[in-house]
Each structure stands twice: as C-alpha cells, then as structure tokens.
Structure 1
C-alpha cells in the first residue's frame, strides 16, 4: 500500500499538526513551506499524494496544481482552503484537483480523503506498470524474433534480468546473437540512457589490452601521447559487453576482477583511482569454469561474472524460428533496395529447415540477404539433408500451424478451416509443438 504524502503549507503550525496526525497513522510525510521547493524536489511518478494550501506567498496551491498536472495529470492533489476559497477550490476540482478540505478540518476527515486518494494513486501506478510491461514485451518480441519455447523463455529471462543490478554471463555458439541479447539487457533496463560499450576480447592485441580497457596517462608508455579514457571509464553509468571473455589475458582478468569488486579503476601510468558504476555482461562459447580448471581463466572472476546466466540455443535446436527469421532478414535486405524479396518455394523452405546452420543466425541472415538480392545462396541451393524425413516434416508442420495461428490471430475456427483439421487433432498438434493460442493473440 502506498503511504507517501507531501504537505505544502506556509503555516508552520498547520504543517506540524498534519505531520503529527499522519505519522501516527503510519504515513511517510515530507513537508514544504513553499510550493516552489515542492516542485523542485517532486520525483517523477511520485508514489503518493500531495496536500497543499491554496493561498501561500509566491506560488499558490492552484498554480502548483497546474504545474504538477502538466507533468502527471493523475497525481492526486488535495487542497486546503479557507472559508472564502471554497468556490475557488470547487472550480479547481473541476480542473483536476482530487479533493479540498475547508479549514479547520478534523484528522478523520483528512485521513479519509487521503486514503481514498492513495487507493486511486495505487491503481493508476499499477495500470502504468502493466502498460509499460506490455510495451516492453512487444518491443522485445520485435527485437528477439522467434516463437519457439526457447525464445519465449529467453525473452522472459531478459525482461526479468534487465532491471536487476547484476552481472550476466551469456553462453552460446558463434553467431547465435549474444551481442543482441546483451544490448537488450541494456536497452530494457534502467541504464538504457547511458553508454553501451562492446568489446571483443579476442580482437584486441594483448599488448594493447590494458590501455584499451583502462586508458592511460600521457607518457605511460612509448607512444602514449596525451591522456586517453579507457572503455571501462567511458561506460561509467552504463554497460560493458565483453564478448569472447575467455580470450582476455590473465593479467587483465585480475584487474577486471578488482574493478568489479571495488567499482574503481586506475588508468595506466596513474596513481589515482577513479570510481565507476558499471554493469558487466560477458559472453563466451566454452564453459568458464572448465577454462578455469584448465588454468586459462580465473575461477574467482568466473563466479563474479556469472551472477546470472543466459543460454542461447543454437538455431538447429529451434528450427521452428527459421522461417520467421529468414523472412525478416530477407524483407529488411529487399527494403533497402526498394524491392520485394522473392517468395520461398516449398523445396527451399524444406532445405532451410533441414540445414544445421553451424553459423547460426548470422549464417541465416547472410542466406536471406543473398536470396533477397537474387544472388542465390549455398544455404538454399545445396543444403545437405542433416535430419530424417520425419524430423523435417515435424518442423514443417509446426511452421504451418504457427503461420495459420498468426494469420487468424489465435482464432481456432479459422485455423481449423484453413488447415482442414478437426478441433481435437488441432489441439493435439498444438500441444505437441508447444503452441498456445494466447501467444498469437498477444502478438497482435
């Protein structure tokens, strides 16, 4: 239950009496003698109610109401009025004030109005939260494409982890989309407005690694002309994505561990520590603990990085996502050229579903772009049949069901008519492929 209350009144005796009444009733009270001070410190999405006198030196309660409503029209404001101000207060209620209390008022009258206003505020904030969650879910679905159970679970995990201040380790094969997932963890969390800095640890020469990460002072080493801000310092307040973390030199692993533990770093050649606020998202293909047992990675750093872990399934384990991803990449490539992507034949679709995609989503995107450009693709022209006929037919059936459900927005009768299936058979097939009609209603 919300219990935050702001009281604005230029009379100290009124402020003191109201504070005492509200504190005894369990409310968290903040007092202001001037409306201007209240406005300056009023937080966005304030989880409570504002109580304000109408007549005060400088900005009055009606002006405060107008200013607050410009930012948050749903924030309840209760006005305190003298007898001569009642008609004015009634007019203010027509303009959005929640209630007015005529002085002198009893504690019971104040508490009754306040509790009703807080109940309303709680409903408004909960409604906002649900709308924001639905918006985030919709945006994430358009960023991390796929309807397989694995992708749906991944999206739920990303939404859960994005708002938490924990380091994340992403496990997945080359080309499986680790950087895209890392970017989503940043973009859908509270650090979204701060820098997102991505580094591939395997692409940085060992001799330059320390300067690249930590920066350097002028003259720190031969050729170090001028001061340079390192990637970690540049990302202060935001997120650092360290891809192929297993390639980081052991000496730099020790320094990274210190940054994570102390939230401080030192530029190369400097004696002064610099405080930083960072979220570290690391990505790796091998198991870091196995790397540690082999002496190639620090075990203590592995545990620090792996507070939470996300595993990205290879494309061959979520074949039902292949047609949707291929269509997305082909359409994007064709759109750049102002043309339409040629449709896939049944044979080409079967080839897409049978291929093992060792390069994962990156390889699929390349095949889709070549197809959109009319160049042909090894992935479509000469794919080896890597799976049994039964497995290919299962994947194709799942795609047909998904396409029909998407077309009819989860409306079962339309799907039954299109696919010429009785209700019981359709239900069995949907259950076998992990398809739920509500997912297709929500997507729209």
Structure 2
C-alpha cells in the first residue's frame, strides 16, 4: 500500500462485525495495519448500538451471526443510513444469501477464507463510493430518508443542502426532469427550523395563468366569476413553513412581477382585495429550464431570478450517479412489491447490469416506472433480464426497418439461388421467374458475383508417360 493510500485510509472508520473472536481480532489487525481505524462488534445488536455512538464509513459483517444475522443487519443499516456501504463475509453455504443481498444493495461479499489483498481492494473501492465522513448524527437521517443514494456526488449535494437548510435563504434547485427536485426540497424543509410548519408545493407550469394567481395569492368573494367565497392562497397556507415553486421557469411574465412584489414586501394581496397580509415563507424554487437563456430571451425577469437564486443546488442526472441505480431499483422493488402482492427478492445479476447500463433520459422517475412495470409483470421472485429489457423497451432480438428487412431478405434469397444453381445465372433467373437482364441488375445491386458460387472444376488426372493424347 502506498503512503498516499495509507494516509487516506487513516481517516476512515470501519465497523467490523463477527461472533468469532479470533477471526474478528485477525481481521482488525489486517485492517489496522493498512491504516484504518477499526471498531468491532460481536453481534448485530452490538453493531447497531455502536452505530448510534459513532457512524463509520464502512461496515464489514459476517453473514452468520447469533440472533439477527448479517442480512438483517444490512437491512437495518440501509434503513438508518442509506448511503453507508456494507461488505458481507460469507462461508460457501451462505453464498446464495450473499448474492441476493448484493442484488439488494450490499456493496459486495467475500468468501471465507478471504484473500487479504482482495479484502483491502474491496474496502478501498467501497470507501471511494461511499459518502465522506460525517459528524455523529445519533441515527437521525430522517430529513433525507426519501433520497436513496451512496454516490459521492449526491453526498456532497446533501451536505450542502443540510447546511443551507439551517438558514432562511431562498434556494433554486436545478436539474433535469425526474432527478428528484421536489424530494430535495422536502428534505431541505425537514432539516430546517421550519420543519414543524407546512411544506406546500405548486407546479407553476401546470396551472393556467388566471387560476395560478388566485392559487398563489388567494382571492376575496366576488373578485371574479365563481369566486363565491374568500380563498386563502398557498402563500398564506404555507405561512411559517416552506413553499416550493416547481417549474418556476414556466411562470407567466405578469405573475413574475406580482411574485417579486410579494418577496420584496413579505406580504400578499389576494385578488380583488385592497388589503395585504403579512406572510413568513421560505421560498424554494425548481426548474429544468435554462433560466439564463430565458432571461436573455426576455421570458424571465432578471430581478426575480436574483431574488430566487440566493443559493443554487444542482441535482445530477441518474446517468451521472450510476452507483445509486442498484440501491434505487431495489428500494423501489420492495416498496412496490406490496402494491402488486408479489414476493420479490431482487433482480437477476444480468437484469441489474442492464439497469445500470441504460441511458435513463427520464432519470429517477423513469427508473421508478420501469421497476413498477416489472413488479406488475414478473412471475418469479427474481426479476429477469428479459423483463427489464421489455420495460426499458430494449429489444431482445434485432428489429429492422421494413426497408432493411426487405434488403436483407432479397440478398439472402439471391445467395440461396446462386448456391442452388452452382452460380448459373440462367437457371437462377428461371427459378426466380425473372428475366436474365433483371436478375443481373439485382446481382449488381447486392454486389454478388455468380462465379464465386461455382463449384471448383475437378482436377484432371495426369497423362501417362509417352501418351500424346492420340
């Protein structure tokens, strides 16, 4: 191990769990000699208690443990700390369980007796994919419980989100559709001092302009046709809490002016009213649009942009955090299994590889839809590759266009005729019911040479000595 690696390892805390005291001691010595800080536990219960005191960056556990086994420990670790990687140690008899656990999100498993170099390599890989060390949280990560991730990029984003949540600064969430902007907004609200107050979300692009103004700011009775009673808007409903303005880039220009006034005055005036009402609301806005381009085109107000964009957080596309795909897929699978009354254990390895390799233009939302489809259709506990390909609309056989299929058939048909007739164009044309001129044209189109299909002429035996051929 290089000095740089040792230095990097020295800051990493590992929790090792095994009920065999001798193996636990040996494993600890190997890891400590590599520069890691090692804590040990002899049971799942002791390990969970240790997690409450100080969170490690990696858990290494034997599958066979007294009481709650290593698989149950993994499930509980994932529930409390979704981003914390787990490596399982297994004897040959429990390999099937370990393979299933890997499909469910365990980082990897090693068989006993394990190779020391392989162990250290896997530990380094797991730490590279895991989250940076965090201060003890006493198991409280409920603020981001809906966000399933172990990627370093998401860990950095969540650390920044939690820091921002403590302030009242307006936050602009950027990211493609389906990346989870509303989930992050909810997480920011739960981590903020406003957590006990309402969180309200409104999609600014999904409501007609005439209704959106009333929806946001409220109206008084008689303000317009059908206004038969006073109506509190979402700003007043979210008072003391957080209001998410989703797809803010789609807000009509006239409403942008009124929204800016509310943010400046911290008060709303319902439609048809002459009185304003003070509101205390933290604004989180979200968009998949390029707001810089929208401002340049005169479609979004610059002064409103700077009011909303005090802090910007950008969610990565799912293709930029592929290490999260197995976690997300299995999380969705177990969540949806109850809905479709299926007893599902996970994805076949090939199916999981197909999910990881898919392009995911629709991001996490598309992944959820794919998993929902396989949940509805699967008839086996392990989801197959074919079913995943079907849900991804990836053909299991090559699909050609009509023109391509016609071209391929035509060439194969001509090749078959030439083989059958030993390269005789006259015979092949007669079998195809085509004249020779047309048949030659077809051969030229497909670059086929009749002579290539003729059988080689049999070799002539040599003439006897003295034989002149007479």
- Shorter-normalised TM range: 0.5 to 0.7
Q: Select which of 180, 183, 202 maps to 1:180.
A: 183
Q: 1:215 corresponds to which residue?
A: 218
Cα deviation, 1:43-92, whole Å, max 9, x if unaligned, reads xxxxxxxxxxxxxxxxxxxxxxxxxxxxxxxxxxxxxxxxxxxxxxxxxx
- How big is the shift at 1:377? 4.8
Q: Select which of 389, 394, 404 maps to 1:383.
A: 394
- How big is the shift at 1:265? 1.0
Change (3 A) 1:303 1:384: farther
- How big is the shift at 1:270? 0.7
**In 2, Cα distance between the equivalents of 1:166 and 1:174?**
24
- How big is the shift at 1:134? 4.2
8 Å CA contact retained: 1:246, 1:284: yes
Structure 1 ranges of 4+ moved more than 6 A: none
**In 1, Cα distance between the equivalents of 2:354 and 2:168?**
43
Q: 1:360 corresponds to which residue?
A: 363
Matched, 1:369 2:372: yes
**In 2, Cα distance between the equivalents of 1:212 and 1:141?**
29
8 Å CA contact retained: 2:329, 2:368: yes
Q: 1:301 corresponds to which residue?
A: 304
> Alignment RMSD, CA only?
2.1
Count of residues in correspondence between the two structures: 255
Matched, 1:282 2:276: no
- How big is the shift at 1:281? 0.5
Q: 2:148 corresponds to which residue?
A: 145
8 Å CA contact retained: 1:242, 1:281: yes
- How big is the shift at 1:337? 4.4
Matched, 1:262 2:265: yes
Q: 1:97 corresponds to which residue?
A: none
Cα deviation, 1:129-164, whole Å, max 9, x if unaligned, reads x76x4444x324532111111111111012111111
**In 2, Cα distance between the equivalents of 1:338 and 1:264?**
49
Give TM-score, length-normalised by structure 1: 0.55
8 Å CA contact retained: 1:144, 1:155: no
Map 1:106-121; keep pairs closer than 5 Å.
none
Cα deviation, 1:402-427, whole Å, max 9, x if unaligned, reads xxxxxxxxxxxxxxxxxxxxxxxxxx
**In 2, Cα distance between the equivalents of 1:153 and 1:186?**
18
8 Å CA contact retained: 1:244, 1:282: yes
Matched, 1:229 2:239: no
**In 2, Cα distance between the equivalents of 1:193 and 1:335?**
30
Identify unmatched segments of 5+ residues in structure 1: 1-129, 386-444
